[in-house]
Amino acid sequence: MSNAMTFSDLIASLASDMGDKPYLISSPDAGVLTYQRLHSQCVELGSFFARQGLTQGDKVSVYLPNGEQTAVLLLGIMANGLVANPVNLMCQESQLKHILLHSDTRLIFTTPELVAALESALRGTGREIPLIMCDPAAHGLPAQVVTVSTQEGSSPAGLPRLEPSDEALIMYTSGTTGLPKGVLLSHENLIFNARNVSVEHRLTAQDRVLGSLPLYHINGLVLTLVTPLVHQGTVVMTPRFSAATFWADACRYECTWVNVVPTIIAYLLNDETPCAELDLTRLRFCRSASSALAPEHHRAFEKRFGLDIIETMGLTETAAPSFSNPYDHADRRVGSIGKPSGTQAKIIGTNDQQVPHGELGEIVLTGKNVMLGYYKDAVKTQESFTDEGWLRTGDVGYQDEQGYFYITGRAKELIIKGGENIAPREIDEAVIKHPSILDAAAVGVPHPEYGQDIAVYLVLREHAEFDVSDMQRHCLAELGKYKSPSRYVVVDELPRGPSGKVQRLKLLDLPGLA
């Protein structure tokens, strides 16, 4: 496992040590990008950036779906001392405009299919940002990047010397409570956390991960792009998640672990594609992250697919994971995000003092994976830390006597009914136990007497029909009268951010809540 703490050092050393070993395999065409080729393309990118007049610290945006080019561009930007800005393809126009202007991006890599969205977002702003056309499915750099010849016929220079504390990534949060914030992460933040993952999950050079999560999300970027670099493994990159091909890809490319979010687990449970004939014995575990996994889904997945789940949790502000359940099955806790991973964590009350085990409060943490801050926003950066320098996660939860942490909801999403705090997740988990329900999210709604009451939004399983009387009986048995929802709304899907977390406050904007 490499000790390098900058992407320039890491990629250069891997080219020397690993050579022709596959770093990235593209699905579905099985194209191979070796460690040596990754290094040479990063060096070529450095020459291109220099010709464009870019210097260390400049921001470069990548507005692309998953693919080999996307992976090389993100790593190459960081390895050359620039700051990569992966842009969420699900952004609304106002968010896209804010990100492109606020980030001070100097260059955008994109595809012809996405140019119209960029032009619309930038129209009338007075900003003209050069666009470089790409094909994420292609092998090799975009045509506009490749040097056909040099004036003196010399080879491109190598990668620059960088410091671990240098900025490497600016990734914008989903902006559920306002405009997206630009989270600044250093080389050390990203590589330190990738090393934590490698140690926690006992990953070696023989391991291969199936990467279906988008690279514009911190989980997809750190877990499936950066972590294999640290343990000298391989990533199998798919254009997007597909329940119909997920297990076939894992089998075909001999993956040893898969990295998913709870939404994917729900889709896989609901998918009827047969996979019994596939040999999945090489798979050691499934890693779930980004949001809390319902215990019912956890147990159902392990029973159906015979594959253990390691539940974890992290934030963009912590370069992905900050908690993880142990690797050993006997030490895991269903429903828990596990123990701190490469960090220190505690639960604090309203006075910012640590509370006893079992008592609810806000989860705060500190460690080398914690962000440098929010770009151009000193006020929000200061507000996101306690006076002692611990990062406020905004997650409400508790720690048990054995040191395991549990999340019960977001501080801003807590339902307060008649003065009693009710965790939305408690409602979600009870509702999901009903055989007709695939997914659920509870939210507080105004009530003239209680202050708030409980509404729940439901996604039905395929071919299921909703019976409100049956659901009311189910919730009464599971939750009791006081915590049973008063209103139910059936929707096709729940609004989610790029990490897969349900954006509960957006539920109130959906039609159907009378």
Which among 88, 42, 83, 79 has a CA at the least distance from the CA of 60?
83
Do 502 and 366 lie in a common domain?
no
Instruction: Out of 397, 429, 456, pick the residue that ends a domain.
Output: 397
Indicate whether 392 and 423 sit together in one domain: no
Residue 107 domain flag: yes
pLDDT tens per residue, range 500-510 = 678 887 887 77
Please indicate, yes or no, whether residues 267 and 386 belong to a single structural domain of this protein: yes
The pTM (predicted TM-score) of the whole model is: 0.84
Residue 151 has pLDDT above 60, yes or no: no
Question: Is there a single domain that holds both residue 262 and residue 344?
Answer: yes
Separation CA 342–CA 190 (nearest Å): 12
> Does one domain contain both 236 and 123?
yes
In a domain, residue 202? The reply is: yes
Query: How many residues can be counted in the chain?
Result: 514
- Looking at this protein, which amino acid is placed at residue 59? K
How would you classify the pairing of strands 22-26 and 234-237? parallel
Dihedral of the alpha carbons of 189, 75, 234, 324, in degrees to the nearest 10: 20
The enclosing domain of 380 has a CATH number of 3.40.50.12780
419 and 386 within one domain:
no
Number of domains present in the structure of the chain = 2
Q: CA–CA separation, 513 vs 496, rounded Å?
A: 19
Same domain, 337 and 450: no
Residue 26: φ, ψ to 5°: -90, 135
Counting runs of H as helices and runs of E as strands, what totals does the chain give? Answer: 15, 25
pLDDT band at 258 (very low <50, low <70, confident <90, very high): very high
d(CA 281, CA 304) in angstroms, rounded, equals 14
- Is 430:423 a contact under the CB 8 Å cutoff? no
> Residue 467: which CATH number?
3.30.300.30
Angle at 172 between CA 294 and CA 193, to 5 degrees: 65
In a domain, 46, yes or no: yes
End position of a domain, from candidates 344, 362, 397: 397
1, part of any domain:
no
In a domain, 325, yes or no: yes
Tell me, what's the pLDDT at 155?
Answer: 59
Q: Write the DSSP assignment of 109-149 as a string of letters.
A: EE-GGGHHHHHHHHTTS-----EEE--TTSSS--TTTS-S-
> Are 357 and 486 within one domain?
no
Mean pLDDT of the 225-234 span: 97
DSSP state letter for 401: T
Whether residues 385 and 419 share a domain: the answer is no
Q: What residue numbers bound the domain in which 441 lies? A: 414-507
Instruction: Return the H-helix or E-strand segment holding 302.
Output: helix 295-305
Domain membership flag for residue 330: yes
pLDDT score of 459 more than 50: yes
Average pLDDT, the chain: 91
Residue type, 332: R
The dihedrals phi and psi of 344, each to the nearest 5 degrees, come to -110, 140
Note whether residue 210 is domain-resident: yes
In this predicted structure, what is the pLDDT of residue 149? 44
| pLDDT at residue 473 greater than cutoff 90 | yes
Report how far residue 112's alpha carbon sits from residue 250's, in angstroms, rounded to the nearest whole number.
31
The DSSP element (H or E) to which 38 belongs, if any, is helix 35-51
The residue-averaged pLDDT of 144-161 equals 70
487 and 343 within one domain = no
For the record, the structure tokens of 33 come out as 């990008």
Q: What is the pLDDT of residues 69-115, one digit of tens each?
A: 999 999 999 999 999 999 999 888 888 999 999 999 999 999 999 99
Which domain-ending residue is among 370, 397, 424?
397
- Give the pLDDT of residue 9: 97
Residue 511 pLDDT class (50, 70, 90 cuts):
confident
C-alpha 432 chain-centroid distance: 23
Q: Does residue 281 sit in the same domain as residue 428? A: no
- 159-196 burial, b at 16+ Cβ within 10 Å, e below that, comes to beebebebbbbbbbbbbbeeebbbbbbbbbbbbbbbbb
> Are 193 and 320 contacting, i.e. CB atoms less than 8 angstroms apart?
yes
Q: At a CB cut-off of 8 Å and minimum separation 6, what does 454 contact?
A: 415, 417, 422, 427, 442, 443, 444, 445, 483, 484, 485, 486, 487
Contacts of 444 (CB under 8 A, 6+ apart): 413, 414, 415, 416, 417, 422, 424, 452, 453, 454, 455
Pick from 234, 238, 249: which is nearest to 38 by CA? 234
Is residue 351 a part of any domain in this protein? yes
Give the integer Cα–Cα distance in Å for 270 and 275: 13
Both 427 and 479 in a single domain? Answer: yes
